[in-house]
Amino acid sequence: MVNISSEVGNISGELVNNTATEEVPFFFINQTSQIVLILLYTVTVMLAICGNVLVVVVFTKGKGCRTDIRPFLINLAVADLIMAVFCLPFTFSATMLRTWIFSKPMCPVVLALQHLSVSASVFTNMAIGTDRFLAVTFPLRSRLAASRAKLFLVAIWIFSIGLASVQLFVSRANDVFFADYHFIVCDEIWETENARRTFTLFVLFITYIIPLCILSVTYSIVGILLWRRTSPGNADQTRDTNQLQSKRKVVKMLIIIILMFGLCWLPLHTFFLVIDFNPELLNYKTTAQEEMFTAIYYCVHWLAMSNSFANPIIYGFLNESFRVSIHIQF
């Protein structure tokens, strides 16, 4: 299903339950690919952790970075940190080893935390877009920014916890015996396939389609308004040139935000949506088909997870005051 965190957590179960033949080895990825994947995911985890910790430190202590969206950027970094700690390592190990190596009670907790991090990250992105829209369209109400941010943050975590709590009821670790192997699969257990598919579509709309539509609309309006707006006073060529350059930087950053969010998550959403509605695709005829499926999964999964370290770059390193604060503090 396309509720990202849960599917990411139980993909190993899908692979185990649909193995092509009894001759398929326990490690179905060749050694070279394993080394490449281990290095790739290790670097991704380190970048995500270091980048988001840096964002939290700079926006918490950096005096030059105390903008009105600072609470959102810190919240986004925290959500991405949770993703780096609970999504990447657990998912990667479960898929590489084709078994759940952790304690069984940890299964629903880990999947819930995975879903929590994804939802909080997506909703925070959506809140930033909405807040920027309100700030630009109603500039005289800027004094309400602090209270508005608190309201948004509370709503983000309430909705995220609500969505994540579903995993505590539908996820569990089960023993699976295949040929001479014994696997433990951390998976979602639904009463019917219709229930699974309904939840898939629900989460797809809540965590991807609706946020992407809102971000596209709000940032488009913000970009247009910023492009057209001029400072009061007499016309000044130097001032107008600087304004135009500044506007272009803002619009460019907003476009990058939308593109990165959409492009990073679209392949993984599509992958699980297709699998949920076409489970026969997992009935591999040959080992080559299984290897191709696994390669596709790792590509789309890594792309989605890479958004966790892309966010600090987009929201932080493209900000001049952020770079200045880094130099001052470090």
Q: How many CB atoms lie within 10 A of CB 5?
A: 26
Nearest to 24 by CA among 271, 294, 279, 299: 294
Tell me 286's DSSP state. S
Q: Which structural domain, as residue segments, surrounds residue 215?
A: 4-329
CB of 261 within 8 A of CB of 215?
A: yes
What single letter denotes the amino acid at residue 322?
F
SS3 of residue 61 by DSSP: helix
pLDDT band at 240 (very low <50, low <70, confident <90, very high): low
Domain total of the chain? 1
Q: How far apart are CA 57 and CA 110, in angstroms?
A: 26
**Euclidean distance between CA atoms 15 and 100, whole angstroms:** 12
Write down the pLDDT at residue 17.
47
Give phi and psi for 180, each to the nearest 5. Answer: -95, 10
Number of other CB atoms surrounding residue 286 within 10 Å: 11
The alpha-helical segments, DSSP class H, found in 232-278 are 237-277
Across 47-56, 141-150, 256-265, which has the greatest mean pLDDT?
47-56
How far, in Å, are 39, 137, 183, 202 from residue 21 at the CA level? Answer: 29, 61, 16, 35
Helix (H, G, I), strand (E, B) or coil at 13: helix
pLDDT digits (tens, 9 = 90+) for 59-108: 887 665 666 778 888 999 999 999 888 878 887 787 777 788 888 999 99
DSSP line for 160-213? HHHHHTHHHHHEEEEEEEETTEEEEEEEE--SSHHHHHHHHHHHHIIIIIHHHH
DSSP 8-state code for residue 28: -
pTM, two decimal places = 0.82
| pLDDT tens figures, 23-32 | 443 445 667 7
- CATH code where residue 268 lies: 1.20.1070.10
Task: Tally the C-alpha atoms within 13 A of residue 50's C-alpha that lie toward its C-beta.
Answer: 6
Joined tokens for residue 5: 């965190």
CB-count exposure of residue 130 (10 Å: 0-12, 13-18, 19+)? middle
What would the mean pLDDT of 160-186 be, rounded to a whole number? 87
- Residue 192: per-residue pLDDT: 87
* pLDDT above 50: residue 22: no
Q: What is the pLDDT of residue 315?
A: 66
Distances (CA, A) of 314 to 51, 130, 328: 11, 17, 20
Token duo for residue 165:
């709590």
| Residue 212 and residue 261 in contact, taking contact as beta carbons nearer than 8 Å | yes
Mean pLDDT of 258-264: 87
Could you say which DSSP state residue 315 is in? I
Side-chain half-sphere exposure of 76, counting CA atoms within 13 A: 30
